[in-house]
Chains A and B, each alone.
Chain A
Amino acid sequence: MPDRPDPTDAVTAVPTVLAEDGVLLREGLVALLERFGFPVAAAVGDARTLTEAVAEHRPALVVTDIRMPPDHTDEGLRAAAELRRSHPGLAVVALSQYVELSYASDLLDSGDGAGVGYLLKQRVGDVREFASVLRRVVEGGTFVDPEVVRQLLRRSSDPLERLTEREREVLALMAEGHSNGAIARRLVVSDAAVGKHVGNILAKLDLPPDDNIHRRVQAVLAYLRASAD
C-alpha cells in the first residue's frame, strides 16, 4: 500500500481536455492527469480536434502542446488563445519545447491573464509540481515557467534596471503564481515585507496600486511586453 496521501484526496475533479501529438507523451499525460484529479474528457493530437473537443466536452482545463500538426509551429498556442476568447473562464496550460517569451506574452494577453500557465514541456516529469501548477491555474492563478522569468530577469531592459535584487526575486515568485504569504515563507521574511516589495514593484512598473485583482498578473505582463519585443 502506498503510504503517501493520494493526491486526488479532497480535491474536486477538474474535467480536462488534453492536446499532445506525441502518442507516448499523450498516454503518459493522461495517466498523470487522471491520477491527480483531472479526469481527461478527451485526449487529442492536433489543434483542430482540440477546438472541437472543447466545444463538445466543455472542460474546465485545457492542457495543450504548443507545437502540433499540421505545421508544427504554434498551432496549439493559437488554438489556446482562441479558446480563451470563445470560452471565458477556461483555464489553459500550454507546454512549450523551449522558452519563447513571445509565446508567453501571446498567451498571457489572451483573456485577462488569469487562469493561464506557460511552462516547459520537461516540467511534466516533475509530476507533483506539475499537478500543483495545474491546480493553481484552474483556481485562476497565472504560472510562467521559472526559466522564462530567469531569462526576463537577465535582460537589460529598462523596467528591470529599476528593481532591486530582492524585488526581482519577489517578482519571479509572483510570476509563478505564489501568494504574498507563500512568497514570504520562501524568502523567510514577513508578510508585511513582501507586501511592501510588491507595492514597490507595481509602482516602479507604473502600475497604479488600485484594487484590480490582476495587478500581479499585470506586473508579469508588463515585463513580458517590455522584453518580448
Chain B
Amino acid sequence: MNEHTDTGAPRGHPDAPDTVLRAMLRPRFLLTAWPWRAAAFTAGSMVVLGVLVSVAAPLYTPWVLSLGLVLSTPDTFFGGAGVALVLVGLALGALFGPLVGLVLGTVDRWRLGLIDDDVPPSGHRPVTEPGPGAWLRVRYTEAATWREVAHVALSPVVLGLTAFVLGSLIPLALILVASPLLLTTPGEAVALGPVTLTTPQEALPYALAAPVLLVIALYANALLAGVHGLITRALVTGPPPEELRAELSEVTDSRARLVGAFEYERRRIERDLHDGAQQKLVAIQMDLGLARLDLQEDSGADRRVAAAHARTGELIDDLRELVRGIHPRVLVDRGLPAALGELADHNPSPVTVDADLPHRLPAHVEATAYFVAAEALTNAHKHTEARNVTVHARVDGLRPRQRLTLEVSDDGPGGADARRGSGLTGMSDRVAVMGGTMELSSPPGGPTRVRVELPCQTDPTPQTP
C-alpha cells in the first residue's frame, strides 16, 4: 500500500490518517468525521446494492441458481442443468459484465473518496480513435475493464455481508432503546434471545447497553467499509500517478540504456575497423608499393602487383566510407562542430555550417545530432532541388539542464513528408528515447526545416575502455 511519509495525508495535520481503516486504529476515531463518512459510504453502498440486484439481476441469476442447485441437488447440477446455467452466466457476464462494470467502477471510484483521501484515477486507457466501435474495442480488451467485472461479481458478497451485519446490529440497538417504552404497556414482552423482558425495570439495563452497541456498530461499519474500500481500490483504480511516473521513467531509462549500448557497439565496431582492418590494409598496400620497387617495370609480376596495389587502395577508400557511416571518427575525436563540417564537405550541394558549441556534449547527444543532420542532408539532396542548406547548432540553458538545438533548413520546394523519409522517422524515435523533440516543417513552396532539441544529460553509455 501507499507509504505516505511526507507527501501523504492531504487533509489537515501531516500525520492525519488518509483512509478509514487507518483512522479507526486511532483512539479518538469516534470524535472525527470518519465514522460518519463511513456511514455515508455504507448508505451509498446499500443504494448500489439495491440497484445492482434489480438492474443487473440477469447477470447474477444464473450463478445464484447454480449455487442453489449445487447446494440442494448436486446430481441435477452436474447432470447438465448446472453446466447450462454456468454457460449462460459466462455468456451474459462476457457480454454485459463490462458495461455494468464500467458504470459501477465509475460510481465506486467516486464513492471511494468518502473513506479514502487519495483515490488514484481509473486504470483505463484513453480512447484515441472516434466512434463507438473503437471505444468498445478498447474497453472490452483492457485489463482495467475486466477487473471491474470482477468488482461487479464481488460487490454483492461484500455488500450483502455489510447489510447482514448492520441489519442485525442497528435494529437490535433500536429495540434495546425502545424496549423500556414498549414495556410500559402491560402484557407486552420483548424477547432477546434466551432472555424475555416483561417490565420496563427489567429492560432498563439493556437500554443502557444500547449506546455500546451503537459504538460497536460504528466500528463494524468502518471495518466493513474499509475492507470494501480496499477491494474497490484494488479492482477499479489504476496505479497511483507517482507509481506510473516511476514506471514510465524506468521504461525510458531502459530504452535510453539500449540506445546507449547500441551507440557503444557502433563506436567499438568503428574502432575495430579503423585500428584493425584499415591499418592492415594500408600496411599491405605499402608492402606492395615497396615490392614494386624491386620488380622490372611492366613485367607480368609488376603489372599484377600494381593492380593489387590499386585495388587495395580502392578497398581502403570503401572501408573509409563504410566506417564513416557507422560512426565517424572525427565525431569522437573532435566533437560535433568538426563532424558537421566534415559532413558538409561530403555533401554534393553546398552546406553552411553554423555550430558554435561551448564544450563537448555527451557522446550519445553528439551522435544523435550528427545522424539527424546526416539524414536531413541526405533527404534535402535526394528529394528536393535545394541549392543551399544550412546546419545550425547551439546549446541553451545551464548545466545540467542544457539543451542542444540542431536545425537543418534548405531552400528546396518543400512538401516533405515525415513518413516518407523512413530514416527521419527512425531518427525521431531515437530523439524521443532521449527525451528530445523533433519537428519537421515543410510547407509547399518551402523552406524545409528539421529541428531537433536534445537534453544534454550525462552520457548513459559505458565509457570507452
- Measured CB to CB, the residues of A under 8 A from B are 2-4, 7, 22, 24-25, 27-29, 31-32, 35, 67, 73-74, 97-102, 121-122, 124-128, 151, 154-156, 228
Task: From known contacts A22-B283, A125-B316, A127-B286, infer whether A100 and B330 are also in contact, taking CB-CB under 8 Å.
Answer: yes
The yes or no answer to B278 lying at the interface (CB within 8 A) is: yes
The yes or no answer to B195 lying at the interface (CB within 8 A) is: no
- Contacts A24-B283, A25-B283, A73-B332 aside, 6 further interface pairs with beta carbons under 8 A come to A97-B329, A98-B329, A122-B316, A125-B288, A126-B313, A127-B293
Contacts of A22 in B (CB 8 A): 275, 279, 283
Contacts of B272 in A (CB 8 A): none
Nearest opposing residue in chain A for B296, CB measure: A3
The yes or no answer to B352 lying at the interface (CB within 8 A) is: yes
Interchain Cβ contacts under 8 Å between A and B, 16 examples: A2-B294, A2-B295, A2-B296, A4-B293, A22-B279, A28-B283, A32-B286, A32-B290, A73-B332, A100-B333, A102-B338, A122-B285, A124-B285, A125-B282, A127-B289, A128-B293
User: What separation, in Å, do the CA atoms of A7 and B294 have in the docked complex?
Assistant: 11
The yes or no answer to B399 lying at the interface (CB within 8 A) is: no
Task: From known contacts A97-B278, A100-B342, infer whether A125 and B312 are also in contact, taking CB-CB under 8 Å.
Answer: yes
Cross-chain contact of A73 among B285, B294, B333 (Cβ < 8 A): B333
Contacts of B328 in A (CB 8 A): 98
Contacts of A128 in B (CB 8 A): 289, 293
Contact (Cβ within 8 A) B330 A25: no
The yes or no answer to B420 lying at the interface (CB within 8 A) is: no
Contact (Cβ within 8 A) A151 B287: no
Contact (Cβ within 8 A) B286 A29: yes
User: What separation, in Å, do the CA atoms of A93 and B69 have in the docked complex?
Assistant: 99
User: What separation, in Å, do the CA atoms of A35 and B289 have in the docked complex?
Assistant: 12
Task: From known contacts A98-B330, A125-B282, A127-B293, infer whether A28 and B345 are also in contact, taking CB-CB under 8 Å.
Answer: no
Interchain nearest-CB distance for B424 vs A (Å)? 25
Contacts of B394 in A (CB 8 A): none
Cross-chain contact of A151 among B293, B296, B338, B345 (Cβ < 8 A): B345
The yes or no answer to B334 lying at the interface (CB within 8 A) is: yes
Contacts of A126 in B (CB 8 A): 289, 313
Interchain nearest-CB distance for B268 vs A (Å)? 13
- Measured CB to CB, the residues of B under 8 A from A are 274-275, 278-280, 282-283, 285-290, 292-297, 309, 312-313, 316-317, 320, 324, 328-330, 332-334, 338, 341-342, 344-345, 350, 352
A-B contacts counted at CB < 8 A amount to: 92
Contacts of B289 in A (CB 8 A): 32, 125-128
Contact (Cβ within 8 A) B293 A35: yes
Q: Taking each of B278, B332, B333, B334, which has the highest tally of chain A beta carbons within 10 Å of its own beta carbon?
A: B333
Contact (Cβ within 8 A) A25 B286: yes
User: What separation, in Å, do the CA atoms of A122 and B318 have in the docked complex?
Assistant: 12
Cross-chain contact of B341 among A4, A32, A101, A124 (Cβ < 8 A): A101
Contact (Cβ within 8 A) B285 A31: no
User: What separation, in Å, do the CA atoms of A98 and B316 have in the docked complex?
Assistant: 12
Contacts of A25 in B (CB 8 A): 279, 282-283, 286
Interchain nearest-CB distance for B50 vs A (Å)? 79
Interchain nearest-CB distance for B347 vs A (Å)? 9
Nearest opposing residue in chain A for B279, CB measure: A22
User: What separation, in Å, do the CA atoms of A140 and B287 have in the docked complex?
Assistant: 28
User: What separation, in Å, do the CA atoms of A109 and B344 have in the docked complex?
Assistant: 24
Nearest opposing residue in chain A for B274, CB measure: A97
Interchain nearest-CB distance for B75 vs A (Å)? 85
User: What separation, in Å, do the CA atoms of A25 and B283 have in the docked complex?
Assistant: 5
Nearest opposing residue in chain B for A31, CB measure: B290
Contacts of B290 in A (CB 8 A): 28, 31-32, 35, 127
Contact (Cβ within 8 A) A100 B334: yes
Contacts of A124 in B (CB 8 A): 282, 285-286
Contacts of A98 in B (CB 8 A): 320, 324, 328-330, 342
User: What separation, in Å, do the CA atoms of A3 and B299 have in the docked complex?
Assistant: 11
Contact (Cβ within 8 A) B283 A3: no
Interchain nearest-CB distance for B275 vs A (Å)? 7
Contacts of B317 in A (CB 8 A): 122
Contact (Cβ within 8 A) A125 B293: no
Task: From known contacts A32-B286, A100-B342, infer whether A156 and B293 are also in contact, taking CB-CB under 8 Å.
Answer: no
User: What separation, in Å, do the CA atoms of A36 and B338 have in the docked complex?
Assistant: 35
Contact (Cβ within 8 A) A156 B275: no
Q: Taking each of B282, B329, B344, which has the highest tally of chain A beta carbons within 10 Å of its own beta carbon?
A: B282
User: What separation, in Å, do the CA atoms of A32 and B283 have in the docked complex?
Assistant: 11
Interchain nearest-CB distance for A79 vs B (Å)? 15
User: What separation, in Å, do the CA atoms of A4 and B330 have in the docked complex?
Assistant: 40
Interchain nearest-CB distance for B294 vs A (Å)? 5
Task: From known contacts A35-B290, A100-B342, A154-B345, infer whether A67 and B333 are also in contact, taking CB-CB under 8 Å.
Answer: yes
